[in-house]
């Protein structure tokens, strides 16, 4: 038995943190405010609920997101394994059956004898060793107490989620199954709703004129770039969507469907669950009112009679100025208080899982009086931690893992694909060596 830790928040970071600590014999008091207190983005009381997309992004190891998944597998992530166990088809991306995934994580937590779940809202930082994984939707009272503790002004950005439609309401005479650049060996993991030029222009004009829930005109700094509402992207130019979420490249009309080889623009729908009874509108994060979503999104070919299981929502996400208040283990210096997840500004589902695991390793190291566990800066998550905790980082904004954060290679490689592959090879080797050199952390061998 190695002491006790309080974990606040049972999202992706908190769930991973609690499971990692419990696996090492640490007693965990896990606090989750749902279902008694909820947020604008949550819909269930399950642990590790995915509030936006059901996609955890690419699995390719020569992508930053795929490399991060490989690192988490090396480190024995429980939440990532639940994601793999509840996959739905999404090409080279890891997408999950949203409820089955969260239910699997919840089951792991509830049956673990070392984890004691408390369903209540925490409004003040508790005494003792604490990891705050309250997420970007942290309760206002707790976020105020955090601000008082670390001596900072709260900061925020706006985030958005895409709508989900009933599969039975999709017009299959129009929508067709196909993955981008699909050949005869690939599975058709997406539904495609193709626009021709006139229908796209009509849709575009209605979209940019539609009524919004939050009526302010957003500044670019207000919006997290990876989750910008589709109507905000559209306002930058009539072709912006055709080169972004609605790009038609790699999509071809089925034989006999059209005189054109490919659509003028194309909306992709991704299955939300294994039974494909619900589909997510890929890239359609939105701030439109619900009646306007129904009206405007039914202008998409194939969705003329779409029934919405969930409309898109927009909400304020809060984060702390990590580079100027936290150390390299996401701890408040000279304290037993640590943070993990999106509240630190490490943005993204898989990044949240990684930060929960990272917090658990460092809590455990402290409990057994061993050196802190600083990940190699050449690893995907190690490079993100360095960005998020370096005092040299100015104008701090939430960030996903990306190869731009990694230290340069000894010899420059001009070809992007080869360069990314070299980053991944170096990261995997360095992480393997790091695990061997930190055997005291009891990381399971693969």
Cite the annotated binding site for FAD by residue number: 9-14
Q: Measuring CA to CA, which residue among 176, 110, 204, 160 is closest to residue 314?
A: 160
CA distances, 194 to each of 151, 172, 198, 345 (Å): 52, 12, 12, 36
Structure tokens at 350: 């898989």
Q: Which residues, at least 6 apart from 340, have a Cβ–Cβ distance to it below 8 Å?
A: 13, 14, 17, 131, 132, 133, 330, 352, 355, 356, 358, 359
| Annotation: binding site | 9-14
What 3-state DSSP class applies to 227?
Answer: helix
Q: Measuring CA to CA, which residue among 266, 257, 302 is closest to residue 284?
A: 266
Burial of 222 (0-12, 13-18, 19+ CB in 10 A): middle
Which stretches does DSSP call E strand in 102-240?
115-118, 130-132, 155-160, 164-166, 176-177, 190-195
Structure tokens at 133: 């994984």
What 3-state DSSP class applies to 158?
Answer: strand
Sheet arrangement for strand 308-310: 176-177, 190-195, 265-271, 278-281, 164-166, 308-310
Q: Measuring CA to CA, which residue among 39, 1, 10 is closest to residue 106?
A: 10
Look at strands 4-8 and 27-31 and give their pairing.
Answer: parallel
Q: Please state whether 266 falls in left (phi above 0), alpha (psi between -120 and 50) or beta.
A: beta
Question: Is residue 100 within 8 Å of 61, Cβ to Cβ?
Answer: no
């Amino acid at each position: 038995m190695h002491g006790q830790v309080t974990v606040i928040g049972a999202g992706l970071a908190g769930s991973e943190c609690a499971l990692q600590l419990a696996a090492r014999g640490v007693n965990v008091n896990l606090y989750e405010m749902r279902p008694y207190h909820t947020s604008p983005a949550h819909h269930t009381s399950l642990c590790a609920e995915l509030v936006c997309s059901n996609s955890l992004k690419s699995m390719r190891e020569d992508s930053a997101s795929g490399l991060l998944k490989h690192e988490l597998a090396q480190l024995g992530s429980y939440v990532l394994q639940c994601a793999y166990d509840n996959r739905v088809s999404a090409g080279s991306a890891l997408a999950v059956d949203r409820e089955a995934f969260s239910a699997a994580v919840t089951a792991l937590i509830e049956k673990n004898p070392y984890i004691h779940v408390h369903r209540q809202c925490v409004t003040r930082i508790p005494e003792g060793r604490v990891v705050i994984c309250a997420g970007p939707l942290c309760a206002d009272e707790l976020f105020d107490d955090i601000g008082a503790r670390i001596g900072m002004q709260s900061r925020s950005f706006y985030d958005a989620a895409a709508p989900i439609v009933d599969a039975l309401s999709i017009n299959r005479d129009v929508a067709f199954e196909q993955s981008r650049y699909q050949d005869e060996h690939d599975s058709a993991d997406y539904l495609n709703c193709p626009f021709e030029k006139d229908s796209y222009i009509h849709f575009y004009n209605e979209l940019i004129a539609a009524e919004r829930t939050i009526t302010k005109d957003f500044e670019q700094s207000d919006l997290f770039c990876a989750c910008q509402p589709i109507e905000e992207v559209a306002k930058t130019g009539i072709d912006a969507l055709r080169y972004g979420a609605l790009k038609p490249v790699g999509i071809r009309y089925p034989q006999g469907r059209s005189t054109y080889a490919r659509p003028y623009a194309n909306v992709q729908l991704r299955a939300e669950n294994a039974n494909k009874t619900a589909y997510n509108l890929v890239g359609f994060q939105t701030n439109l009112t619900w009646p306007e979503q129904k009206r405007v999104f039914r202008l998409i070919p194939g969705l003329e009679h779409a029934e919405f299981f969930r409309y898109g929502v927009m909400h304020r996400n809060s984060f702390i100025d990590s580079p100027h208040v936290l150390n390299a283990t996401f701890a408040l210096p000279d304290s037993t208080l640590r943070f993990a997840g999106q509240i630190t500004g490490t943005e993204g589902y898989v990044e949240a899982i990684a930060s929960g695991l990272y917090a658990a390793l460092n809590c455990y190291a402290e409990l057994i009086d061993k050196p802190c566990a600083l990940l190699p800066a050449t690893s995907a998550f190690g490079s993100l931690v360095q960005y998020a905790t370096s005092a040299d980082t100015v104008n701090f904004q939430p960030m996903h893992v990306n190869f731009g954060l990694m230290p340069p290679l000894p010899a420059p490689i001009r070809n992007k694909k080869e360069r990314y592959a070299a980053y991944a090879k170096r990261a995997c080797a360095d992480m393997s060596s790091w695990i061997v050199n930190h055997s005291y952390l009891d990381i399971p061998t693969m």
